[in-house]
Structure 1
Amino acid sequence: MQPLRYPRSRQQLRAKPDIEQVKADYLIHQIDQAFRLWTTSPWLENLTFDDFLEYLLPYRIGNESLDYWRDSIDLRLKNRLQEASLYFDNQKHSPYNMAQIVYGHALGLDYGNDNLVGIPISTKECVFSSQLQLLAYRMAGIPAAIDHVPCWADMNGFHEWTVIIDTKNKDILSGQIEMKNAPKVYRRTYSANPIPIPEEDEYIPPFFTDPFNRDVTDKYLHTSDVTITASVPVQTRHAYLAIFNGRELRIVDWSKVQQDKFCFHSMGPDIIYFPVYFEKEYQRNLTYPFILQANGITVKLRPDTTRRQTLILTRKYPLHHNKVYHGNALIGAIFQASNDPTFRNATHIHDVTRNPNMYPVIVPVDTTKKYRYWRFNHSKIVELAEWKFKDNRGRDLTGTIIDPEGKGARLANLFDNDPLSHGRVSHQLIVDFGHPVCISEMIYLPRNDANGIYPGNEYELFYFDLNGWQSLGCKIATGYSIEFENIPSNAVYWLRNHTAGKEERIFTIQNGKQRFW
C-alpha cells in the first residue's frame, strides 16, 4: 500500500474495481465474521445497524491488499477480550474501554510479519499507524474510523488518527488537534458523501472528487458558517476556500454558486482563508483573503497602499512550543574569559538567565581587555548551533576548540556559520585563540530550526492581492533582523528565504509585530 502514499507511484498503477476482483466466498466470510462480532460482543449491544455498516462491517479501509485480515487477531488478545467480556463489568459494555485492551496489546498484530495487508507495521507515519489501528480495532469487534486533517492551517503537513465509535462517549481521541489549527476535519467512510458535481468540462479539485470523506469538523471545534458575496464568471458553478500550507494554497472546502453568493459550513476558527474558483484547471482568486475569528466574525485583509509602513522582521516561521527546550536547557550556563588555561581568577562575561527562544544572543564585550581563553560552563549537557566572536571591526575570530571532558559531539558545527547545524557540549567547552585578543562581541545561538533571519541569506517579502502574491523586493540580511520599507498595510505577508530552508508561513502585522497564521 505504500506506493499510494506517493503521487508519482500512484500514477503508475491501474485501478481494478472490487466488483471484478472480489470473490463471493471472501465477502461471505467477511460478513459472517462481522455479524458474529456484532451479535456476541456485549460492548456492541447498542450499536445501530447504520453504524455497524459504516464502522465494523467494511471488508477494506482503502486501497490495501485484500486478505483475510479479520483472522489475524492475536490469540492472547482474543483471550483477553473474552475474559473482559465475561468478567469485567466496568469494561465489557463500552467499545471505548474495550479498545484500550486492544491498544495496550500493541494492536494485537503478528509482529513476525513486516506488514498487514501491505501496510508496513514498523512505521511511525500517521497514515500507516492509523490504518493499522483501524484494522486491529475492527478485527477485535471495536467500531472505529479514521479522521484526518488534509492540511493544517498554521503549519505545514497533515495528520490522520483513529477514533472509536461509542454511543456513550464522544468519538474523539484527545491530543490530535488541540495545539494546532485545523480548517477542516474529515472522516473516511465506506458510504458516499456529497461532492461537487461538475457541469460540462468543469474542473473539480481531486480531493473533492472522492466521495468517501465526511465533514466532522463540528465534532472537534467551535465552527462558523461563512457567506461570501463576489462576482464570478457565468460558467462558474463552484467556489472554494483555501489555506496556506506547504508554500501554496490548498483547497479545504467547497460551495455551490447561488446568485454570486457562496456558503461555507462548519469552518475552523482563527484561520486565514483564501476564497478561490477555477477556470479550467487554473486557480483564480475570488476575493480578498479574510481572518475567521473564534467569534465567527470575518476580517477582510485588503491591502491598503495609501497607508504604508516599515517592517522589521525576525522570523519566517512561527516559534512553536515544542522547539524551545534547547533554549531552556541553556539557562544557568555562564561564559568566562581568562589568560589562564585553568581559569583561575576568570573574568565573568555573561549569564544565561532566560530562554533565548531560538534567537541569537549578542553579548557586548569590553574591548579594552584581551583574553586568550574563553569558556562555556554549565551543569548540563546542551546543544548549541553557533558560538561566534567578533573583533572591533566586526570580523569573525576563530580559535582552537578544547573539549575538557572529551564527551562533546560535532563541536566544529558551532563555528561553521550554519544555524541549522549544531553540536553537543558536555558541560564545558573552551576556545583557545593562541594569544590574548580583543573581543568586541560574543554571539551564541541555541540549537534551532534556522527559520530566523541570518546574515548573508537572501530574503524576499510578498503581500497578497487579487492578482496573487506581489513581490516587495529582495534583500541580503546583514544581521539577525531585516527591514523592508514602504510596505502596504492590512495585508497578508509571506517572507521567503532564497538561500536555505523550506518552512515558511504567512503572517499579518498586529501592533507592529508579526502574527503568524
Structure 2
Amino acid sequence: MRTTFIYIIFTLISSCSTDETKLEKALRLAGNNRHELEKVLHHYSQKPADSLQLHAARFIIENMPGHYTLAGKEIEQFKEKIHADTSVSYFAKKLLEISISNIESIQKNAQKTEDVENIKSEFLIRHIDRSIERFITCPWLRDIPIDIFMEYVLPYRFEHEQPELWIDSLRITPDAWKEINASGIAKYAAWNNIEKLDLTRSEPLFHKDQIIQWLQQDIYDMCQHSALKDLFKSRASALPATIDFIPNFANRNGFHYWNRIISPEIKKISMRGTLERKAAKIYRKTYSLQNEIIPLKGEYIPEFFQKSFYKDVSDGLGSPLLVA
C-alpha cells in the first residue's frame, strides 16, 4: 500500500518541468559521463515497483553538480598511511579520509574531481538499492517523510572524500538490533539510544598521538571534525542526520558545528559550550542544491553566501544559548 501511494506521488512530482530542467542540467554537465547517469535512470524506469528507487536516483543526480572529490599528492600520502595500519577498523579509516578532505590547508593543494563527471552507474545503483533497503526495514524510518529520507539518509558522501560503498561495510550489529527490538518500541529506540548503536567494523580507532603526528594537530578536539565523526556514525546507522553550524556567534568571536539528528521525535536541540554564546545565524549542510544567489551587475557576494549546499535554518531552530 505504501509503495503504491509513493508511486502515485512520485509520478505527479516527476511531471514538474522545474525538476526536469534541473535533471537535464545535471545530465548536460556530466559531459562524457552522461551515459553512466542515464543508465541509472533507465535501470529504475522499467518497473513501477522501482518508483521509489527512481525518485532516489533523480534526487541524487539532479543535485550532484557541485559535489566533488579532492585528490592530490598530499591526500594520497595520507591515505597510504591510513590504509597501512591493518589494526584499525574500516570506520576509523574512512572517517579520517573524510576529515582530511575537510582540512583547509590540505584543500588548498588539492584538485577537484566533479562527481557528475565521474560517478559510475554500478556505484549509484548499489548505493541506492542498499539505502532503500534500509528505508523499508528500519522501523524508525517507517513514518519519516520521504524528503527527510532523501536529504539526510540517502546521500553517498559527507565532505570531499573518495566515494565508496561504505554502506556495504557499516551496519548495525546483530546485538544492537536485538536490543532495539527487545525494547518493545523499536520505532523510537534508535532515536533514544543513538549512542548505543554499535556498527560492524567500527572499532578500534587510530591512536590519538598517531593522528597528531600525521596532521600536527588533534582534529577531533575541533567541533567541525567531531561533528563529522558523529554524522558518519549516525548516517551509517540509517539515522537521518546532517551538520548544523553557527559561523559566527552574536556576542563574541568563534563558531560551532554539531551533528544534527533530523526527526519529528526530537523537537529541541541541546548543545554544550563554554560561557554564554548566542547564535546570530544557524546554517545546515545539505546534499541538495539550495537557491543560487545571482549578483547584480558589479555586486560583491561574500564567498560564504556563494556556497551551494548551505541552508539558513535560524527561524526553525531559534537562537540557542550554549551553556557550560
Answering whether residue 268 of structure 2 is matched by residue 175 of structure 1, we say no
8 Å CA contact 1:184–1:215 kept in 2: the answer is yes
Q: TM-score under structure 2 normalisation?
A: 0.59
Alpha-carbon distance, 1:136 to partner = 1.0
In structure 2, what is the Cα distance between the partners aligned to 1:106 and 1:139? 8
Find 1:128's aligned residue among 215, 220, 225.
225
In structure 2, what is the Cα distance between the partners aligned to 1:216 and 1:167? 16
2:195 alignment partner in structure 1: 100
Alpha-carbon distance, 1:150 to partner = 0.9
Letter aligned with residue 188 of structure 2? H
2:178 alignment partner in structure 1: 83
8 Å CA contact 1:144–1:163 kept in 2: the answer is yes
In structure 2, what is the Cα distance between the partners aligned to 1:91 and 1:108? 23
Alpha-carbon distance, 1:32 to partner = 1.3
Find runs of 4+ consecutive structure 1 residues off by over 4 angstroms.
105-108, 112-115, 119-122
Find 1:163's aligned residue among 241, 250, 260.
260
Alpha-carbon distance, 1:91 to partner = 4.7
Does the C-alpha gap of structure 1 residues 108 and 156 become closer, same or farther in structure 2, counting only changes over 3 Å? Answer: farther
Letter aligned with residue 66 of structure 1? P
Q: Secondary structure at the match of 1:25?
A: helix
What whole-Å deviation, never above 9, does each CA across 1:36-85 have from its counterpart, x for those lacking one? 111001111111111110000000122122222223326xx512332134
Letter aligned with residue 160 of structure 1? Y
8 Å CA contact 2:199–2:237 kept in 1: the answer is no
Alignment of 1:454-469 (within 5 A): none
Does the C-alpha gap of structure 1 residues 188 and 131 become closer, same or farther in structure 2, counting only changes over 3 Å? Answer: same
Answering whether residue 114 of structure 2 is matched by residue 17 of structure 1, we say yes
Does the C-alpha gap of structure 1 residues 52 and 17 become closer, same or farther in structure 2, counting only changes over 3 Å? Answer: same
Q: TM-score under structure 1 normalisation?
A: 0.38
In structure 1, what is the Cα distance between the partners aligned to 2:154 and 2:230? 16
Q: Secondary structure at the match of 2:239?
A: coil
1:287 alignment partner in structure 2: none
In structure 2, what is the Cα distance between the partners aligned to 1:197 and 1:126? 32
Q: CA RMSD in A?
A: 3.3
What whole-Å deviation, never above 9, does each CA across 1:276-298 have from its counterpart, x for those lacking one? xxxxxxxxxxxxxxxxxxxxxxx
1:143 alignment partner in structure 2: 240
In structure 1, what is the Cα distance between the partners aligned to 2:246 and 2:201? 27
Alpha-carbon distance, 1:18 to partner = 0.2
1:209 alignment partner in structure 2: 306
Q: Secondary structure at the match of 1:123?
A: helix
In structure 2, what is the Cα distance between the partners aligned to 1:131 and 1:17? 21
More helix by share: 2
8 Å CA contact 2:293–2:306 kept in 1: the answer is yes
More strand by share: 1
Letter aligned with residue 236 of structure 2? M
Alignment of 1:123-272 (within 5 A): 123-170=220-267, 172-175=269-272, 179-221=276-318
8 Å CA contact 1:188–1:212 kept in 2: the answer is yes
Does the C-alpha gap of structure 1 residues 47 and 93 become closer, same or farther in structure 2, counting only changes over 3 Å? Answer: same
In structure 1, what is the Cα distance between the partners aligned to 2:218 and 2:174? 22
Alpha-carbon distance, 1:174 to partner = 3.9
Letter aligned with residue 194 of structure 1? N
Does the C-alpha gap of structure 1 residues 9 and 82 become closer, same or farther in structure 2, counting only changes over 3 Å? Answer: closer
Answering whether residue 164 of structure 2 is matched by residue 67 of structure 1, we say yes
Letter aligned with residue 227 of structure 2? S
Answering whether residue 150 of structure 2 is matched by residue 53 of structure 1, we say yes
Q: Secondary structure at the match of 1:37?
A: helix
Letter aligned with residue 161 of structure 1? W
**Higher RCO (Cα < 8 Å, 6 or more apart):** 2
Find 1:5's aligned residue among 75, 97, 103.
103
Letter aligned with residue 113 of structure 2? K
Q: Which has the larger radius of gyration?
A: 1
What whole-Å deviation, never above 9, does each CA across 1:423-450 have from its counterpart, x for those lacking one? xxxxxxxxxxxxxxxxxxxxxxxxxxxx
Q: Secondary structure at the match of 1:168?
A: coil
1:248 alignment partner in structure 2: none
In structure 1, what is the Cα distance between the partners aligned to 2:150 and 2:272? 28
Answering whether residue 136 of structure 2 is matched by residue 43 of structure 1, we say no
